[in-house]
Amino acid sequence: MRRAYIAVLVLVNVVAAECEAKCAGFPLRSHVEATVEVRSCVAVTFNRSDSKLYDMGPMYQEGATLSGALLSVVVKRSHLVKEDLKIGWGDEAHRWKSGDASTVFVAAPVADVCPKSLPSDITVSFRERCCDVFPMSGNCLVPGSINVVELVKGPG
């Protein structure tokens, strides 16, 4: 019995090493839509570094870069948009509370995102991102403490 158990463990590791996880539980079937007050808005570009993941290989894809707008915002109101009404777990984790301050990134030109006068309101959509495939690129270049959002309704 013990030999069979060890064989199964070895087989699982061999198979897992050949697979890319790609966040099996993602994308979550819900996202947050929020009206936020923009306090500051600047152009930013995220570039890869030469960091390695535990010396196993590059953490970021060669030449990876991502440009857009970095905003400091305060949440005015938000609501959860459920795409699959049957799934109810995890909903509370995705709510943005009114009055909370946050830093968000929009992968779009600042001319399309940044209001001409501050403070000003915009509406954004936030969905949890998944970055478990290495080397990383795209939205995964943005540090995890910054929420990557999409612009729903820009500055008027």
List the pLDDT tens digit at each of the 156 positions of the chain: 555 544 444 434 433 344 445 565 555 567 889 999 999 999 999 999 988 888 888 898 999 999 999 999 999 999 888 776 665 555 555 678 999 999 999 999 999 999 999 999 999 999 888 888 888 889 999 998 999 999 999 887
10 assigned to some structural domain: no
CA distance 79 to 33: 6
Residues 6+ away with beta carbon under 8 Å from 39: 71, 72, 73, 74, 118, 119
Flag whether 102 is in a domain.
Answer: yes
Q: Is the pTM of this model over 0.85?
A: no
* Domain that includes residue 71, residue range: 23-153
Residue 1 lies in a domain: no
Domain membership flag for residue 89: yes
Identify the burial level of 8 via C-beta atoms within 10 angstroms of its C-beta, where 0-12 means exposed, 13-18 middle and 19 or more buried: exposed
**8 domain residue, yes or no:** no
Is 148 inside any structural domain? yes
Helix (H, G, I), strand (E, B) or coil at 110: helix
In a domain, 2, yes or no: no
Residue 147 inside a domain? The answer is yes
- How many domains does the structure of the chain reveal? 1
Other C-beta atoms closer than 10 Å to the C-beta of 38 total: 22
